[in-house]
Amino acid sequence: MSKVLGGIFTSHVPGIGNAIARGLQQDPYWKPFFDGFAPVHRWLAEHKPDVAVVFYNDHGLNFFLDKMPTFAIGAAPEYHHEDEGWGLAFARPFPGIPELSWHIIEEVVASEIDPVMCQKMTVDHAVAVPFELLWPGEEGFTTRLVPIAINTVQHPLPSPKRCAALGQAVGRALRSWSGEETVVVLGTGGLSHQLEGKRAGHLNIDYDRFCMDNLAANPGALVQHSSLEIVDLAGSQGVEILNWIAARAALGEEVTELSRNYHVPISNTAAATMLVETRDAVTA
């Protein structure tokens, strides 16, 4: 039987990708963010998950506003990052696991949530940057990817409750998967930030702390706000917390927080990294 070992939550700012490409991890501006990955790297080295199910939002690489899915699940044998407009494309391909993707799609639709199904898709910095952060270097990725995109771009956005329901359905699929794979679930993006308008540069450290304090033990607290209320609190792009909410819901009831790193500012963003594990990780 497969095992869901834990969850990793991290910001995915494109600037982090540029910093990686330029080798700035020890630069005084970037170091407080990258240092947060030391416990994550140790945990990954110990547990070596076979699969990463990644909840993220596409920023205009695979999806345009002409056809904008609320939820989309990748079922491709392989995924690639591509140039998003600033000339940086990470070279390492992301191996897929389409048979697990289809099992997830089956369970999600059986739960009466209806995603777009993608046998071919590119993944943007919201997947590529976290993969680079988790498994740095040149070696090919061995952890296989199931990408699950949530619309955080074009309103109306799905509600936090709906995102949690999606996550729960994905979690049921993972726990009923007959394969032997071990799984880590990722939620990417956030925390508070706003790129546009006269409120550009908005941060909300109190709200971010509320999210981090409740993520492991009391994730229900995060779905009390509507998506527009989260825009108000966390900024237009801070609403990417929806990806965290879905990922947390996929992990089931009980998780233990292992590490947390929060650093302001990275570019215009309050950057955060959290690691939680399930009881299955303890007994794995």
Partner 1 sequence: MGKKPEIFGTDPFDGDLAMRGYALNDMCFSFNEEANREAFRADEDGYMAKFALTEEQKQAVRNRDVLAMLEAGGNVYYLAKLAGIFGLNVQDLGSLQTGMSLEDFKQRLLDQGVTLRSGAMVKEGEGA
Catalytic residue annotation: 12, 59, 193, 240
Pairwise CA distance, residues 218 & 109, whole Å? 27
Burial of 32 (0-12, 13-18, 19+ CB in 10 A): middle
d(CA 207, CA 172): 29
Stated length of the chain: 284
3-state secondary structure of 199: coil
Cβ proximity of 175 and 215 under 8 Å: no
Which residue number, 64 or 112, has a Cβ lying nearer to partner 1?
Answer: 64
Residue 84: which H helix or E strand, with range?
none
Shortest Å distance, C-beta 155 to partner 1? 4
Q: Which positions lie near partner 1, rule CB under 8 A? A: 15, 31-32, 34-36, 38-39, 42-43, 59-61, 64-66, 82-87, 153-156, 194-203, 205, 209, 228-229, 231-232, 235-237, 256-265, 267-268, 275
Q: How does strand 269-277 pair with strand 94-95?
A: unpaired
Helix (H/G/I), strand (E/B), else coil: 110: helix
Which residue, 27 or 106, is less far from partner 1 as judged by CB? Answer: 27
Q: Which CB, 167 or 238, lies closer to partner 1?
A: 238
Which of 128/169 has CB closer to partner 1?
128
CB of 95 to partner 1, least distance (A): 23
The distance of closest approach from Cβ of residue 63 to partner 1 in the complex, given in angstroms and rounded to an integer, is 10
CB-CB contact of 189 with 57 (8 Å):
yes
Show the CA angle centred on residue 128, arms to residues 98 and 122, nearest 5°: 50
List of residues 6+ apart from 119 with CB closer than 8 A: 75, 76, 98
Minimum Å distance from CB 14 to partner 1?
8
Give the nearest distance from C-beta 82 to partner 1 in angstroms. 7
Between 40 and 164, name the residue whose CB sits nearer to partner 1: 40
